[in-house]
Amino acid sequence: MSKTAGAPRILVIRRDNIGDLVCTTPLISALRRHFPAAQICALVNSYNREVLSNNPDIDAVYWYTKGKHAGSFRGELQALWLRFQLIRRLRRMHFDYVILAFPGYMQRLAQLAGWLGAKQVIGYRDGHNDKRVNCPVERNEQDVHEAEVVFRLLQPLGISGIPPAPRVVADAAAADALRARLGLPATSRVYGVHISARKPSQRWGGGRFAEMIKRLHEREPAAIFLLFWAPGSQFNPQHPGDDEKAAELQEQVKGMPVYPCTTETLPELIAALSLCDRVVCSDGGAMHLAAGLGKPIVALFGKSDARHWHPWGVPHAVLQPPSLDVTDVSVDQVLAALEKL
C-alpha cells in the first residue's frame, strides 16, 4: 500500500472525542507536507471517524467500536472480535512509525502500539518506563493548547513550529443539496447558532439565543440563521437532546429567517456548518468542527479550560465569565464579539 518505495508508513492513533480528533488534524497536515509520498493512516473510533472523511492528507482511516458504544453484551463481544481482527490487519502492514496522538501517557495506547509491532512508537511517557514507547517525547510547559501538545509529538520526525490550522472537509455534494433543500440565497450572510452543550455550565438559555437572533436580524435584515442542536428529547435517559429547547426558540423567532438543521449524523453537521459564515456556540465538538472548516467563531466557555480548548487557527472570540457559568454572558457581549469578527 505504500505510495512510493522507501517512503515511510505512518499510523496516527487518536481514539477520543470529536474535538480531540479535530485538534489532531494539524499534526496530520504537517506529516503530509513533510512526507508527501508517505502512506499516512489513522486509527480512530466509530464515534469520531467522520471527522477525517474527505481529508486529502490521509490515505486510509481504520476504526473500531468501543465497548460502551456497542449497545449490548453480544455487541461488546462482536466489537472485541472485530477489534482483534483489525489489530492483526494493521500489524501485517508493518508501519515504520506509530504516533500515539494523546497529550500524555496512556498504558492502553502503549499496549496497542506494542501489539502493532511498529519499528518506532512515538508518544509521551510522562516518567513511565514503558519500553513500548521507544521514541518518547518530553512535554513542554509552553505548549498550552491541545493542538500544540499533540503537535510536539512530531519532533522526532524533524517537524516543529506552530501547528497549522485544523482541517475538516465537508462533502460538497451534501452541502449543496442542503443549501438547495433549505432554499438558502447564495448572497446572504449565514450565522450558525448551536444551542447545545454537554456541560450545564456551558448552556446559554434559549431566550438569550432568541434575543441575539432578533437583534442581529434588526441589524442585518438579509442575514440567515441556521439553528443547530443535539437531536433528541431532553427526557431521553441515554442520549438527552435539546428538541424541546430548539422548538421553544423557533417559536420565539417565528417569522424570521431561521432554518432548523436537524443533523442526525456527523457528516450532516459538518455539511451544514460548512454553509455558515459565522458560528456562535459553546465549547464542544461542534465548535472544533467549525474551526476545522475555517469559520470565525464566538465561543461560550463555562467551566472548561479555554486556554487549552479554544478554537485553533481561526478568528475567534472566547467569552468566559469569572463565574465560569455562561448564563452570566450577556447578549450585548456576544453581539460585540460578533462585530469584532
Question: Confidence band (pLDDT; 50, 70, 90) for 68?
Answer: low
pLDDT at 23: 98
Rounded-to-integer distance, Cα 45 and Cα 25, Å: 15
Is-contact 126 146, C-beta < 8 A? no
pLDDT at 282: 97
For the domain with range 9-157, which CATH number is right: 3.30.70.260, 3.40.50.10860, 2.40.40.20, 3.40.50.2000? 3.40.50.2000
327 vs 8, 160, 250, 280, 286, CA distance in Å? Answer: 50, 40, 20, 15, 19
Identical fold, 9-157 and 172-340: yes
Sorted by where each begins, the domain ranges of the chain are: 9-157, 172-340
Mean pLDDT over all residues of the chain?
92
Per-residue pLDDT of 187-210, as tens digits, reads 889 999 999 999 999 999 999 999
Q: Which amino acid is at 80?
A: L
Sheet (strand 278-282) strand order = 258-260, 224-228, 190-194, 278-282, 297-300, 316-319
> Any idea which residue has 513542554 for its cell?
140
pLDDT at 4: 56
Q: Which helix (H) or strand (E) holds 292?
A: helix 285-292
CATH 3.10.310.30 fits 172-340, yes or no: no
Quote the pTM value.
0.93
